[in-house]
Structure 1
Amino acid sequence: MELIEVAKHYGKVTVLDRVDLTVAPGEFIALLGPSGCGKSTLLKLIAGLDELSHGEIHIAGRLANYLKPAERDVAMVFQNYALYPHMTVRENMGFPLKMSGIARDIVTAKVDEAASLLQLNAQLDRFPDELSGGQRQRVALGRAIVREPYVFLMDEPLSNLDALLRVEMRAELVRLHKRVGRTTIYVTHDQVEAMTMANRIVLMKGGVVQQVGTPAEIYATPANTFVATFVGSPPMNLFKGHIGGAQFHGSFDIPVPARVTSGDVTLGIRPEHVEIVEAGDKEGLAATIDVVERVGPDAYLRMTTQAGATVTARVDGASRAREGERVALRLPPARLSFFDAAGNRMSIDKEG
């Protein structure tokens, strides 16, 4: 599937600004971003539920711009399940095939196969109001699976579930994708869903694609400061300053790991890469622990340096760190990221 300069305007308001994306057959793509970034609009354009303002959408090698939704060979799974309350699970799952005129025995066989895949065999004769939230979501997935589409389109399908069930359903969806092997476009505002499920992430803001990459690439090498702070919990520490004389000068001064163009920059480091050492360490930055947040196996330390910079570190949950404690911080040169005055990632000449 391929999107070429896809754009959507409502009058003078640009909701999507020339999105380019190539999706490999069988790939799981997550459209990630804050509310209002355009990710659901992009999904609707692919589905044919909204009209393009500009660009082209190709599905399975066909230009889909002028195809009706039913002709695009896509199946959509919505946030609110959209099940028919007067139909049983079997009837809900088989409804798309029935409406397409598929023979009853074929419909029955496909529904039984999907029900087995989704562990819904015991619920086939029940009605939606007799099911749990997770079971209803499985029925919605089953209704899409029986159609055997070229592309699955999923619009925040887990957002109505409680936290524990979301974790279980994430694993179910990953397992299902491996079994079915269909191309999947998955909309979410939850970075954990995107990071744990997708082959690649398309991170969006204000209708513009900020970065496309694997979860590891986006986490380790964010394209800009927005990506750096949106992906990761806690987010990347960012410090404004400038480079001069092979040094970063800001709320603290440290040597840079390689030659970086002189000028205004933002230095970044992930919380897990901040090293805590004993107070008085000559190579460390003096700081005081303000807050200790213990979250299961991890502890988040919110600290303030002598010059007033705020730094967050993620350490082992068994750490004996305490509020008010004086420590020293080390920022390993190899772990630093640099962003220019516009907030874009800077390439570093490590041999310089």
Structure 2
Amino acid sequence: MKKNTLLYLSFGSIATTFNAQASDEELQTCLMKSLKTADLTVTVGELKRACNNLLLVAKKAQHNKVESFFKQELKTKNLASAPYVMTPYVMTPHRMNYLLPVSYSDNINKEDYDIVEGWADNFEDIEIKYQLSFRVPLLTERLFTQGDGVAFAFTLQSWWQIYARSISRPFRETNYQPEIFYYTPLSWQPLEGNTAFLLGFEHQSNGNSSSFSRSWNRLYANFVFAKDNYVISFKPWWRIPEGNKVSTAMVPGDDNPDITDYMGNFELSLVYKWDDYDVFFKGRENFKAHKGYVELGVTFPIFERLKGYIQYTNGYGESLIDYNNSQQTIGIGFSLTDYFQD
């Protein structure tokens, strides 16, 4: 391994201590730390160049949230020749991962469960909610533009009636959401920000059958704008039409033909990072049907890397079984991964 490669690798832990506003003081701090572990053959000029490179990388990572959003699979390489290399088939967080041990609803959906006698009447207004989500890059070589690629992602959300002791604490609803998408950064930089574009296919289902079944397929585009400490995402979609309107014992049909009336035709998201806090907004709306959904979330530090999470929702479609059921929920728990990954 070349000397400069060893030099850069030895500074990996130091680079994370610098923020986007690199200063002379930070450069001096880097030099003092690196002098303690540097080889005697390394000159001061080489140390200074290495620190400058590391500070530039840290600055770029802080300001380019689009890169952070899409390329958490990036691994440090020889900074003198190629700053990053993507590792295919490595799982990384996609959407936020969280656990809410306490999630309260003011109008929990009971009507759709009436076919199971005595079950819905014993639902508790407080349950556990959690979300697990990961992404795997499939193609990392350049397809059309520099930095583009194809990825697979999977998100699972679950609502667990753990406090409903009289009905053996069932999982009330679980939603499965696999997707495959193409992503690319764009050269357009309005307001000195960064932009990116995604185009994908998404399936969402609750994995049930009969009257409990809910599912849909959609094609979506996603336009992302990022600057400094915030990211805005606009995601319109088109629902792929399904078969018969009514399911039979032999032929599956459309178990929720009016889902876009409630889930809308687009989603607008905003993430804002303020010191150690991440503030999140997500909204959907169908302007013709005048139905929509709002989700607000805040993460806050608890201990070292452990963060708390408060989530509030209002409207239709908190889950697939609730796509036509309006409710307000509030939950508190833990963030398992941040919105922005370091």
Flag the structure with higher strand content: 2
Select the structure with the greater relative contact order (CA < 8 A; seq sep ≥ 6).
Answer: 1
State if a TM-score over 0.5 links the two structures. no
Q: TM-score, normalised by structure 1?
A: 0.28
Flag the structure with higher helix content: 1
